[in-house]
Structure 1
Amino acid sequence: MLILDRKGLQIEDLRHFVQAAEHGSLTAAATAAGVAQSAFSRQLSRLEATLGGRLLHRTGRGVVLTELGRHVLPRAHALLADASALVEEAGGNWQRPTGVVNVGLLPSMSRPMTGRLYARVSEAFPDIQLRVVEAYSGQIEVMLAEGHIDVGTFNRYRPLQRENQDAVLSSPLCLIAAPGGPHSGKASVRFSALAGLPLVMPMRPNSLRALFEEVAGRRRLSMHVALEVSSATAMKDAVMSCGLHATLPAHAVQDELARGLLECMPITHPAIRQTTFIDVTRRRPASSAVREVARLLSGLVRQLGA
């Protein structure tokens, strides 16, 4: 068994702790690990003794993380990833990337990007397994910083320079509406025109919404946010079904535009551009699998602007 330090911290104990946290049940985690629950529990107890505190609180319905457990969990993820990368590289597997890669995708591009990324990765690197999480930019940046995901996409709406991160896509923000609305057929729409429309927008905190409210405030415009949602799918449904209006880049509604279900008009005066970045977590060294997934994802996102 691989021991991580002289105090006896063992990789298998960490793996079982992570499994218990993910399953929320010692019985389910032990079954997934393929070991008896008694042995599973002993390894967790050994880890808790090594770290000097309880990691999991046992309840009648399963287990929940203690304060120490919440602190240790991201570090455990990082150590397990480092151990996996070490085995991969020591075994010469850098020529054949393998392992689980956690990817964070923005709601505006999760469809069709999830399917496209899976198809591309499966064809080129069949030993890589993807786990995809959909979240807004702020959430993705937090998950990257804490090491909960390996690769993530996020947006910026203000001009700035970013070190070590290349913009992969820059798109104008558009007014999204159902056909036949008050601005139907227009080549573009002034920002001030949004003040008279019922809008569906992301729930706070959200960087795009914050920018829109800032711009509206400077122009003394009152925006009517009729509905708040947490996904681009719900946003598009509200526009098509309820006569609301949204602000999204054209690539987020390309399927609906092709089918004539929605219309898309760039917003001007001021124009607002959405710039998309892709980054990898800094909590641990990027494995060859993570690097390859980031490369393929960058290429697919760039194609959205073609």
Structure 2
Amino acid sequence: MEIRQLHNFSRIAEVGNLTRAASLLGLTQAALSRQVAQLEAELGTVLFKRNGRGLVLTDAGQRLLAHVPIILRQIAAATRAVRGDEGPVQGTLVLGLPPSLARTSVVPLIDAFRERLPAVTLRTVDGLSANLVEMVESGKLDCSVVYNQPPSDLVEMRLICEEDLYLVSGPAAGDNGKAPPRTLALADIARLPLVTAGNTNVIHVALATAMAAVGLEPQVAHEIENLSAILDLVQRGYGSSVIPLSGVHSCIGNPELTLHRIGKPSALRCSLSVLRPVRTLDDALIEQGTSLISEVVRQQLAVFHANVERSIDA
């Protein structure tokens, strides 16, 4: 197998049409078709089948596609290692982000990469923290920002900051139809029906652990993984939700949503870290990329914190 064949195979799989893929790759359809035939002959299996709309992967093609991004990233990393520190870093950095940060930080991150690392293309993937860790460990991601994850022998984890958690309530969320106070104790939250991202979600685990320490437990009314859907349910009065600072910032100005600090006895926080595979510790692209990601996320959260606190005090 050649690197070029694998790259072109993944592009065909992405667009699902041989003619369109050939145009994007700057090849003739005949030349691209020959590459596919050569790859299938070498592997001894069919990778694509035709349907009414174009080409779709066979089961064998799906299995190959799962390995291709990892292979291409390893080759790119090997190339960078051979070249050493000559010239500015370049290539593609695939970054995992939790949903709350994906909603608010992608544009600032791309702006920062364009300014500071212009030869680097940033790609982002959304996911829950535990899933993102597994993707970094397996090589499917170059790095990721995650919440409250235990150490691993396969990844290096660097703390970015401690991110505050807030309660978001909707219409008539408090007792007797009254809005809860703007600063809540855990005992106040324990009386509210909550919309959460599930019992294994790191934000819910942080809340449940803090409550358990004072003999309380959360009342989970609905479990929904999608952050936008959670906020929609809160806005419609199905319950309240505990959400990280990066997720509640977009709620400012929404007349149907109210933000509340969590305190008494102390604020509720989650650690936010950036992680990368230990095998990439000498990779300049990932080193500079993760440093820039940490800087931008830290700056964004400082701005968000000031905005949210002003909103609560208004």
Range of TM-score over shorter length: 0.7 to 0.9
Q: Tell me the secondary structure at the aligned position of residue 154 of structure 1.
A: strand
Aligned to 1:230: 226
For the aligned residue pairs, the C-alpha RMSD in angstroms reads 3.5
Amino acid at match of 2:180: S
Secondary structure of the structure 1 residue equivalent to 2:157? coil
Deviation at 1:290, TM superposition (A): 3.1
Q: CA deviation at 1:92?
A: 6.9
Identify which of 98, 103, 120 aligns with 2:95.
Answer: 103
SS, match of residue 183 in structure 2: coil
- Give the 3-state SS of the residue equivalent to 2:146 in structure 1: strand
Task: Report if aligned partners of 1:177, 1:243 keep a CA contact under 8 Å in 2.
Answer: no
Please give the alpha-carbon distance, in whole angstroms, between the structure 1 residues aligned to 2:34 and 2:301: 54
1:196 counterpart residue number: 191
- Give the Å deviation of 1:19: 0.9
What are the within-5 Å matches in structure 2 for residues 135-284 of structure 1?
A: 135-156=127-148, 160-161=150-151, 164-178=156-170, 181-182=173-174, 184-190=180-186, 192-202=187-197, 206-209=201-204, 221=217, 223-226=219-222, 228-231=224-227, 233-242=228-237, 244-257=239-252, 262-266=258-262, 272-281=268-277
Question: C-alpha displacement at 1:122, in angstroms?
Answer: 0.7
Q: How is 1:78-93 mapped onto 2 (pairs within 5 angstroms)?
A: 78-87=70-79
Number of equivalenced pairs: 294
For residue 61 of structure 1, the aligned residue among 53, 72, 82 is 53
When normalised by structure 2's length, the TM-score is: 0.77
Cα distance in 1 for partners of 2:151, 2:223 equals 33
Preserved CA contact (<8 Å) 1:97 1:128: yes
CA contact (8 A) 2:166 2:248 kept: no
Deviates more, 1:27-36 or 1:120-129: 27-36
User: Is there any run of 5+ residues in structure 2 with no aligned partner, and where?
Assistant: 303-314
Output the amino acid matched with 2:34.
Answer: R
- The answer (yes or no) to whether the contact 1:147–1:284 under 8 Å persists in 2 is no
| Contact 2:196/2:225 (<8 A) preserved | yes
Equivalent position of 1:48 in the other structure: 40
TM-score computed with the length of structure 1 as normaliser? 0.78
Distance 2:65 2:75 in 1: 15
Mark the runs of 5 or more structure 1 residues left unpaired by the alignment.
1-8
Structure 2 counterpart of 1:201, one-letter code: T
Q: Following the alignment from structure 2 to structure 1, what is the Cα–Cα distance between the partners of residues 162 and 26?
A: 47
What's the secondary structure of 1:109's corresponding residue?
helix
Q: Relative to 1, partners in 2 of residues 1:208 and 1:92: Cα closer, same or farther, differing over 3 Å?
A: closer
Residue 103 of structure 1 deviates from its aligned partner by 1.7
State which drifts further: 55-64 or 116-125.
55-64
